[in-house]
A and B are shown apart, each in its own frame.
Chain A
Amino acid sequence: MSQWLLAPLQYPFMVRGLIAVIMVGTVCAVVGTYVVLRGMAFFGDALAHAILPGVAVGYLLGNGAREPLFWWALIASVVSALGIGAISRNTKIKEDTAIGIIFAGMFALGITLISTVRSYSVDLSHFLFGDVLGVSGKDLWLSGSFSLLILLSVFGFYKEFLVLSFDPILAATLRLPAKLLDFFLMILIALAIVVSLQTVGVALMVAMLVTPAATAYLISPRLPRMIFVAAFIASLSGLIGLYLSYYFSLASGGVIVLTTTLIFLIVWAWRNVRWRKA
């Protein structure tokens, strides 16, 4: 068993992959706790897809270099988050419709841009489904610093985000800047998505945001525990997924997400059985 676990670690790409899945799992799950509690799953999914044109522009301009991808993806996600807010605030269009419009439009723009490149389908699939074993040392430093920033922000604004999520009216009567905090949370979700881009890809991102947090929600009485349990489940799924992907040559993003889904189903079934007995 230990041989089975340790053997892959002789390859630096596996070590980097391992660090990446734990980092991404933690960040997505922590931010995802608020996504689940506030019912923002569709928003998270849309935001993940909407960064594709940014990825495409970075890819076209950077000649395959990874760093520009990161920054352009960041710009695209912030623009999309702002766009969704602006449309739903200033017209009678409901928020989910606004999300649908922006999400599909941006995604289409991304696909069109990427299709101008010859090796289109291979590259596109990496953006869509991730390529955790292709993470470079430089990528790790960049995503690592942003991950740290996200975690520090979530912990620093813990009580403000708590009030805002549980009771927006209380947030208003306590004169917290609710819109600003809402916007800040959106930016944190966007950052988490960009950080995770290479590990799970845009198409499966919502699973990293929602599934571990939802699993934790089922078994955690209080919010702090929910955050830690979610981060643990996500990191564990990342590890299991990475090993399965290594030994059976499966798509890493897919296996990682399947693992989180399986854990969710097991916990859900267990809770249901217990609930019926009680």
Chain B
Amino acid sequence: MSLTEELIKTRHWISHRHPHAVGSPLLKVEHLSLRYDGFNALEDISFEIKHGERVAIVGPNGAGKSTLLKIIAGVLKPSEGNIDIYGHEPSGHICIGYVPQRNQVDWNFPVTVRDVVMMGRIGKLGLFHNPTRHDWEIVQQALETVGITPLAHRLIHQLSGGQQQRMFIARALAQEAELLLLDEPLTGLDLTTQEDIFRILEILQTKGVTVLLALHDLKLAEEHFDKVLLLNVRLIAFGSPNQVLQPDILLQAYGGHLHFVQSSQGIVAVEGSCCEGGEEHP
């Protein structure tokens, strides 16, 4: 991006954002592609998400899940295609919350939980404005919603995995995010903690936040989401969990790396690459 574009963006930064067009879908992705050095990271992806839906993005490693989330967040630019959020491109919005993968955060950074959550307010504050009492109240409410009020003054390196995720969700709440993107938030969390996160996501749904979450576990996708988006560079399938999580469809995305196990709850798919002693996908 050139400096001139940056300067134009600065104008947006100070002036107002795009209004949300009434009646348009919350998120509309059309023929989206991203190429790096000649190979396709994402290819011709189109789908729509309605307000308040909870959508899981599943697919093998290297399928482009993180890339897709970053493009929707407006952090990466697609090579081709359009993304509309309430009828406008992502770069016009500050209502998109993004929860990064835990291993991409510098946990030794000298900030407290409250400091990180307040970062979500910065887009609304504008240059040379300090947080007001109103901003601190919003931060306080966000901490309460995700249940980490007692941790407000903890340093971030003192948090457990689940608390780290809650903090980032609280930050998105403080940002007043209407679309929340989470990149593999459940990786490395135990079952109870995963359940806690889902409870928080349910609370967000009642607040009208639309959730788009990348994850590995197909069973969780089936249990907790309205829709599943199956991705492997291309969009393999998009629809309700029952429609998408079918053996023949999954096979298209995962190839031979998936095993199906019949269980009481139906068919359970297990990603097999870890058990064959073979190497993981990059």
With contacts A170-B98, A172-B73 known, is A159 near B122, CB below 8 A?
A: yes
CB–CB A183/B3 < 8 A? yes
Could you tell me which residues of chain B, from 89 to 145, have a CB within 8 Å of some CB in chain A? Answer: 91-94, 96-98, 100, 105-106, 109-112, 115-116, 119-120, 122-123, 125, 127-128
Asked if B155 lies at the interface with its beta carbon under 8 angstroms from chain A, I say yes
CB–CB A217/B100 < 8 A? no
- In the bound assembly, the distance between CA atoms of A176 and B122 in angstroms comes to 9
Q: Whose C-beta in chain B lies nearest to the C-beta of A38?
A: B106
Pick the interface stretch among A142-150, A161-169, A232-240, A246-254: A161-169
Residues from chain A with Cβ under 8 Å of B112 in the complex: 221-222
Chain A contributes a number of interface residues (CB within 8 A of B) equal to 28
- In the bound assembly, the distance between CA atoms of A211 and B94 in angstroms comes to 37
With contacts A160-B127, A174-B94, A180-B3 known, is A167 near B105, CB below 8 A?
A: yes
Asked if A223 lies at the interface with its beta carbon under 8 angstroms from chain B, I say yes
- In the bound assembly, the distance between CA atoms of A226 and B109 in angstroms comes to 11
Residues from chain A with Cβ under 8 Å of B75 in the complex: 169, 172-173
When each residue 176-191 of chain A gets 1 if its CB lies under 8 Å from chain B and 0 otherwise, what string results?
A: 1101100100000000
Q: Whose C-beta in chain B lies nearest to the C-beta of A182?
A: B6
Residues from chain A with Cβ under 8 Å of B17 in the complex: 175
Residues from chain A with Cβ under 8 Å of B12 in the complex: 175
Residues from chain B with Cβ under 8 Å of A167 in the complex: 100, 105, 119
Q: Which of B3, B6, B119 has a CB less than 8 Å from the CB of A163?
A: B119
CB–CB A175/B9 < 8 A? yes
With contacts A162-B119, A223-B110 known, is A177 near B7, CB below 8 A?
A: yes
Asked if A261 lies at the interface with its beta carbon under 8 angstroms from chain B, I say no
With contacts A160-B127, A177-B7 known, is A166 near B94, CB below 8 A?
A: no
Could you tell me which residues of chain A, from 204 to 234, have a CB within 8 Å of some CB in chain B? Answer: 217, 220-223, 225-226
Asked if B254 lies at the interface with its beta carbon under 8 angstroms from chain A, I say no
Task: Name, among A156, A160, A162, A167, the residue most crowded by chain B CB atoms within 10 Å (CB to CB).
Answer: A167
CB–CB B94/A179 < 8 A? no
Q: Whose C-beta in chain B lies nearest to the C-beta of A179?
A: B6
With contacts A175-B12, A175-B13 known, is A169 near B70, CB below 8 A?
A: yes
Write the nearest CB–CB distance from B149 to chain A, whole angstroms. Answer: 19
Asked if B74 lies at the interface with its beta carbon under 8 angstroms from chain A, I say yes
Asked if A22 lies at the interface with its beta carbon under 8 angstroms from chain B, I say no
Could you tell me which residues of chain B, from 32 to 91, have a CB within 8 Å of some CB in chain A? Answer: 70, 73-75, 91
CB–CB A169/B122 < 8 A? no
Q: Whose C-beta in chain A lies nearest to the C-beta of B154?
A: A221
- In the bound assembly, the distance between CA atoms of A37 and B110 in angstroms comes to 9
- In the bound assembly, the distance between CA atoms of A162 and B175 in angstroms comes to 16
Residues from chain A with Cβ under 8 Å of B119 in the complex: 159, 162-163, 166-167, 170
Residues from chain B with Cβ under 8 Å of A180 in the complex: 3, 6-7, 9-10
Asked if B1 lies at the interface with its beta carbon under 8 angstroms from chain A, I say yes
- In the bound assembly, the distance between CA atoms of A166 and B108 in angstroms comes to 10
- In the bound assembly, the distance between CA atoms of A163 and B75 in angstroms comes to 15
Chain B contributes a number of interface residues (CB within 8 A of A) equal to 39
CB–CB A175/B110 < 8 A? no
Residues from chain B with Cβ under 8 Å of A220 in the complex: 110
Residues from chain B with Cβ under 8 Å of A166 in the complex: 106, 109, 111, 116, 119
Write the nearest CB–CB distance from B272 to chain A, whole angstroms. Answer: 32
Q: Which of A159, A175, A183 has a CB less than 8 Å from the CB of B94?
A: A175
Task: Name, among B100, B119, B155, B175, the residue most crowded by chain A CB atoms within 10 Å (CB to CB).
Answer: B119
CB–CB B10/A222 < 8 A? no
Residues from chain B with Cβ under 8 Å of A225 in the complex: 110
Q: Whose C-beta in chain A lies nearest to the C-beta of B109?
A: A166
Q: Whose C-beta in chain A lies nearest to the C-beta of B183?
A: A169
CB–CB B6/A173 < 8 A? no
CB–CB A222/B6 < 8 A? no
CB–CB A173/B94 < 8 A? yes
The 7 closest A-B pairs by CB, nearest first: A174-B123, A172-B75, A180-B6, A177-B10, A177-B6, A179-B6, A223-B110
Other CB < 8 Å A-B pairs besides A162-B119, A175-B93, 18 of them? A156-B127, A160-B122, A166-B106, A167-B119, A169-B73, A169-B75, A170-B98, A170-B120, A170-B171, A172-B75, A173-B96, A174-B120, A174-B123, A180-B3, A180-B10, A222-B110, A222-B155, A226-B110
Q: Residues of B with Cβ closer than 8 Å to A?
A: 1, 3, 6-7, 9-10, 12-13, 17, 70, 73-75, 91-94, 96-98, 100, 105-106, 109-112, 115-116, 119-120, 122-123, 125, 127-128, 155, 171, 175
15 pairs from A and B in contact (CB 8 Å cutoff): A162-B119, A166-B119, A167-B100, A167-B105, A170-B98, A173-B96, A173-B175, A174-B122, A175-B12, A175-B91, A180-B6, A221-B155, A222-B155, A223-B111, A226-B110
